[in-house]
Copies of this chain bind each other. A is one copy, B any other.
């Protein structure tokens, strides 16, 4: 059975209006997939061809540092787009891996196809502009937090902002995303309990 693509339409409708014919066209061009836990959507060295919208589940984007550590740069949960935009735009091999943290359902479209859809539905370009702009804004905030907060402060802030997320992913992934070690996260948490 085909996954339900409607969350994507709902998301698009938050920014631009779609008529039924356009929804049909999109349905025809998006490919829905179910990704098992720990399966990869993209592996380091491959070229990223797809824009992926997360219908359900959770994925992570990470890279392997020279020290052999996995560094998570990004999570993708429901209603987020995930892709290596650098690789996608330049058709260059990606430095990143994209892997399912939980079993996930995604709607993908490869960049060539998307270009052809833009021609037929110009306002979709508007949707992508807005969505990208929001993602860019979030990314700048992220840089702000990295530079102005200590590790502990970053965790506290994240905890306040996304409480539901804390128990959704393993702590070592959280620690990696926040830019420190699992041991350090453990120490922060034990400090809090003692209060």
Contacts and interface: CB of A to CB of B under 8 A. Distances in A.
Q: Which bracket fits the contact residues of A? A: 35 or more
Interface string A120-149: 001101101110111111111111101110
Chain A, interface SS category: helix
Contact of A71 (B66, B95, B130, B147): B147
B128 A85 contact: no
Contacts of A136: 85, 132, 135-136, 139
Most chain B CB neighbours (cut-off 10 Å) among A122, A138, A143? A143
Contact of A139 (B66, B125, B126, B140): B140
A65 interface: yes
Contacts of A133: 85, 89, 128, 132
A157 to B, nearest CB: 13
B141 A139 contact: no
Nearest to A61: B140
